[in-house]
Amino acid sequence: MVSSDLPAAPGETDLGVLLRSMHPEVLSGDWFFTTVDSAGDVAAAATVREPEGLSVVVDRAEAERIGAPTSHAYRWITLRVHSSLDAVGLTATVSAALTERGISCNVIAGAFHDHLLVPAARVDDAVAALVVLAESA
């Protein structure tokens, strides 16, 4: 079933506007990647089906509930600009800014926003890099 909450506009495609308007927001708590055989009753925030299994991103409570390892925590940053799925360069530019600071980043694109999962210990550095990038765009 398709959501009726989709906006009329397809989102922003201009890279300069995307960068200036990204307004990074850090979600609360730690997030973890793990793999499960089936989504079943797993409360996953994101899923990707791969040949090796179903990769899921879950919060700490869910990771502990399903017995997933919690030794490598990530923090979730949402770029609050409504980016078009056809936009060119946002992921590459954001990745380059984080790369310059030695910060790994896993990107998930949603229908409205891009989401970045960065090592929990580096979240402040990541947000600082994104703010500098937005201000310099």
Domain map (residue ranges) of the chain: 12-29+73-137, 31-72
Please give the CATH topology (third level) of the domain spanning 12-29+73-137. Answer: VC0802-like (3.30.2130)
pTM, entire model = 0.91
* 85 neighbors 92 (Cβ within 8 angstroms): no
What is the pLDDT, as a whole number, of residue 3?
Answer: 56
Can you tell me the mean pLDDT for 39-46?
93
Tell me the C-alpha distance between 22 and 6, whole Å. 19
Query: Mean pLDDT over all residues of the chain?
Result: 94
For residue 9, what pLDDT band results from cuts at 50, 70 and 90?
A: low
pLDDT at 72 over 90: yes
